[in-house]
Amino acid sequence: MKTYEKDFPYFKAKTEGVTKKFNLSDPVERKEYFEAKAGEEIAQIKKYLESNTFVAYLLGKKNSGKGTYSKLMKEIFGEDKIGHISVGDIVRDAHAAMEDETKKAEIMEFMEKNYRGYISIDDAINALLGRDQKTLLPTEFILALIKMQISKWPKKSLFIDGFPRELDQISYSLFLSNLIDYRSDLDIFIAISIPESVLDERMKFRVICPVCHTPRNLKLFATKEVGFDKEANEFFLKCDQSDCSSKGARMIGKEGDNLGIETIRERLELDDKLIEKVFTLHGVPRILLRNAIPVDVAKDYVDDYEITPEYVYELGADGEVKVGEKSYAVKDDEGVESYSLLAPPVALALIKQLAAVIKNQSLTK
């Protein structure tokens, strides 16, 4: 068990008196699920959000689910109350905006008013565009990009994904609320603990639609339609998004994903160091989200439908693909046989812990 996990017991999603087996892929049943298991905490957070906000920093490895949990929080509390900022997306969007003179002028105007750093704006732009390979994109420039994104929204609580990304950015995050004019906001660090074996298979079996770019996973997140390629002797997913012009098209893997997490090993090790460092800070509330639960105690902590299913395929005599499910068991980073959890029970842990942080803050005021 990692050092920062020792102070956080396993979260109990199983709730006394809640016996219904919810279909967590259905938005209506998912809403009922959250109300049944965390209705009191949801009401508490909603009341807090009527006149208060928070800034939460999501710390987790690549593909750990940061965007998914943010999306679920927006679903529960409303997009008018919750915003999600992916620093990686902001930087990529700024890079793309440089091709459009109007958008480029908008960024330059904002930077001239808000950027404060040790290199010029022009040098920072060159670092953004990769023209200057020796100069790293300065943290001050990233902060200005974050502020620019936030300035376009009405004030809302924020889940920030991708910052801090380096060890020397941790101190910046402690004052980010001030820098983005959210001076009275509650700051929270949220770490996601997930076995590397799960990350590995999320990468290896990831596929996307070539047109709408919807992501799925052949092993862990299947579509409704599955095909079989006789020549390659392999199963494949078909895009099932109703608004996709290529609905029914074969979803494809991304080049290099089949190699798994070894291609990002250095990044994973840095992410571990970041979480370890952040969780030694005093004065900032911390939340830990666990993606997995040991098999030998799972029945006491989660309901069966909260466990991630592994999809298995069989080609019938009629040429049709039959899809089956089984509980997805993996070895965690300590070698313990564990079940990976679906996103909703992990988000449930986030709601419960967030409500406790808010309650504690109100008691100490």
pLDDT of residue 134: 56
pLDDT of residue 182: 66
- Successive 10-residue mean pLDDT values, the chain, 365 residues: 80 95 92 97 96 92 89 94 90 89 91 88 86 69 89 89 80 71 81 93 90 86 90 92 80 85 88 88 89 96 95 91 92 94 96 95 68
pLDDT of residue 176: 73
Q: Are 67 and 161 in contact (CB under 8 A)?
A: yes
Tokens 């842990």 — which residue? Answer: 349
What is the residue-wise DSSP string for 229-249? ETTTTEEEEE---TT-TTTTP
Tell me the three state secondary structure of residue 330. Answer: strand
| Cα 333 from chain centre | 20
Tell me the three state secondary structure of residue 156. Answer: coil
CA nearest to 69, candidates 34, 20, 44, 23: 34
Q: Are 306 and 300 in contact (CB under 8 A)?
A: no
Write 318-327 long-range contacts (CB < 8 A, 24+): 319/228, 321/226, 321/227, 321/228, 321/235, 323/222, 323/226
Tell me the three state secondary structure of residue 295. Answer: helix
Tokens 């943010």 — which residue? Answer: 70
For the chain, the average pLDDT equals 89
**What are the boundaries of each domain within the chain?**
3-81+156-195+262-364
pLDDT of residue 282: 79
Tokens 């900022």 — which residue? Answer: 85
- The rounded distance, in Å, linking the Cα atoms of 71 and 84 is 8
287 token code pair: 């939340």
pLDDT of residue 153: 86
Q: Are 68 and 343 in contact (CB under 8 A)?
A: yes
Q: What is the pLDDT of residues 168-208, one digit of tens each?
A: 777 777 777 766 666 678 889 999 999 999 999 999 999 98
CA dihedral 76, 81, 87, 90 (to 10 degrees): 110
49 token code pair: 């959000």
Q: Are 334 and 355 in contact (CB under 8 A)?
A: no
CA nearest to 174, candidates 83, 59, 55: 55
pLDDT of residue 157: 93
- The rounded distance, in Å, linking the Cα atoms of 22 and 345 is 11
